[in-house]
Chain A
């Protein structure tokens, strides 16, 4: 039933032929991958990780640097990016969870690691070109039945490519959350000590949630780098983390699909209304504050509870 929700997105490009609007959709899809995966650790496991943007940015750098240094395709470069993300997630996650860091302290330590990663990328000029960033010239290619191997270039190709990646992410998250793993995540969120007492290995499940979320963020980061054709240290900045958090909160943290709505509003809104950078920042801050104070369940959560009440 829920799969039908995707149908409008499949026919949408046929109706709207505007490159501008379709590119907003592509950005929204890619950022929605980051938001949906962030909700895995934040909304469902209850841990405020500040490392999400770092995983996004690190993977963007690893994929694009691998393609340019070794002249391999996007798909081959994705493997070291994902492998590296899994490795650092396991290391940082083990450190944090081994030392029982909770709530604020977990957020601070993950933030510290993500800032360290940003500083390394910012100052490793010979490889990353520092603040200026790097151009990513390659584009991924896919095999299409009938047409053979084609390069994804142009808005239509990217639209369906990023949509497919988003559907993949949602499918992975739904699958995980629908299984016993998801129930363990919920137990940890609701009462970690009780979960431990009931025999749930909270260390293992928190580590799993953290690693899986970061891995999906890594996919989003790689796509983002190849779509925009540009990488810079700001991908790892605190602001990028906050953007993702705001998307999740605005959409609603209690459902898998909620963050997608948040990603669409926060990506689309600034482009739809023509605003100066400052006015945009003010609007963004207001949206964040008002969501938390007035709509704590987010857009989708509030809609759902209205429907239940009616």
Chain B
């Protein structure tokens, strides 16, 4: 029983970091452009499929395949930003609906390209390590380490560099930031594209662990938004923590309760958080 508990907790942590990388994109985009990009899950799907194609079909080594995948996701993100999101800045409802229209288009295109048949990628890294009495596949640990590293690096970059200060300044007062020489248009586009690149990276790692379906994006964006709200919108480390809390609750909860309700935990969390602690667990202001 203890073994099951430990195993499920570890699984939850790993899935949770995947939620966390989407949550990070959600939080960044919301802070800088004032919209929630619900299509982020689709960029994750694009990243995952491109990785699968390059690794399994084209036969590239995995560390090489991951870069074009991120580039394709970011390229699609750039196109979406210039064609669509540029016109919905700070208009939450329009941004929401445009990104939902985009989901519909990308998912249908993925169905045409790759059909509904799940795609399984071959092993990138086989073998397992024993951890606390349970054996964990090595790849899961690598995925966890990489995602956590990227989230912490983003946090470090935002708190130490000029771009980060510009971003914080912009999220506090866009006009003052503009007067201080922040090129706001460029900053906003950069953040949108960066968040899609993060999603693409998450997708590239996702592909090594689970099988791919065109509808995977919809699930992950919901969890990502839930994790972002749980951790507190605007808090970067909060998005990782929120993701992990959500992932662990789902994994451990499905030991005791019917697993059909695992999608409900996040929803209950979100309602409770928004009612009693609207800033989230790690946020400072709403």
Residues of chain A touching chain B, judged by Cβ–Cβ distance below 8 Å, are 48, 95, 99, 101, 103-105, 107-109, 112-113, 115-116, 119, 122-123, 242, 245-246, 249, 277-282, 284-289, 292-293, 296
Contact = CB atoms under 8 A, between A and B. Distances in A.
A115 B264 CA distance: 8
B266 to A, nearest CB: 8
Given A95-B271, A242-B100, A285-B101, 10 more contacts: A99-B278, A105-B274, A109-B270, A123-B260, A277-B111, A285-B104, A285-B105, A286-B101, A288-B100, A293-B88
B179 interface: no
B97 interface: yes
A104 B108 contact: no
Q: Chain B: interface secondary structure?
A: helix
Contacts of A286: 101, 105
B88 A292 contact: yes
A95 B275 contact: yes
Given A99-B274, A119-B261, A293-B84, A288 B108 contact: no
The size bracket of the interface on B is 35 or more
Given A48-B93, A288-B97, A293-B98, A281 B261 contact: no
Interface in B32-53: 36
Given A116-B264, A288-B97, A292-B98, A105 B108 contact: no
A288 B101 contact: yes
Contacts of A119: 260-261, 263-264
Given A116-B264, A289-B98, A292-B94, A282 B105 contact: yes
Nearest to B106: A285
B108 A281 contact: yes
Contacts of B92: 103-104
B103 interface: yes
A99 B275 CA distance: 6
B111 A278 contact: yes
A282 B108 contact: yes
A108 B111 CA distance: 28
A288 B96 CA distance: 11
Interface in B43-100: 84, 87-88, 92-94, 96-98, 100
Contact of B104 (A116, A249, A282): A282
Nearest to B34: A104
B277 to A, nearest CB: 11
A136 B264 CA distance: 28
Contacts of A123: 258, 260-261
B229 interface: yes
Contact of B274 (A101, A103, A296): A101
A104 B260 contact: no
Contacts of A249: 97
Contacts of A277: 108, 111
B267 A115 contact: yes
Q: Which 7 A-B pairs have the closest CB atoms?
A: A285-B104, A288-B101, A281-B108, A285-B105, A289-B101, A112-B267, A285-B101
A278 B108 CA distance: 5
A281 to B, nearest CB: 4
B102 A289 contact: yes
B24 interface: no
27 contacts: A48-B93, A48-B96, A95-B271, A99-B278, A101-B274, A105-B274, A107-B96, A108-B225, A112-B270, A112-B271, A115-B267, A116-B267, A119-B261, A122-B260, A242-B97, A277-B111, A278-B108, A281-B105, A281-B108, A281-B111, A284-B101, A285-B101, A285-B102, A285-B103, A285-B104, A287-B101, A289-B84
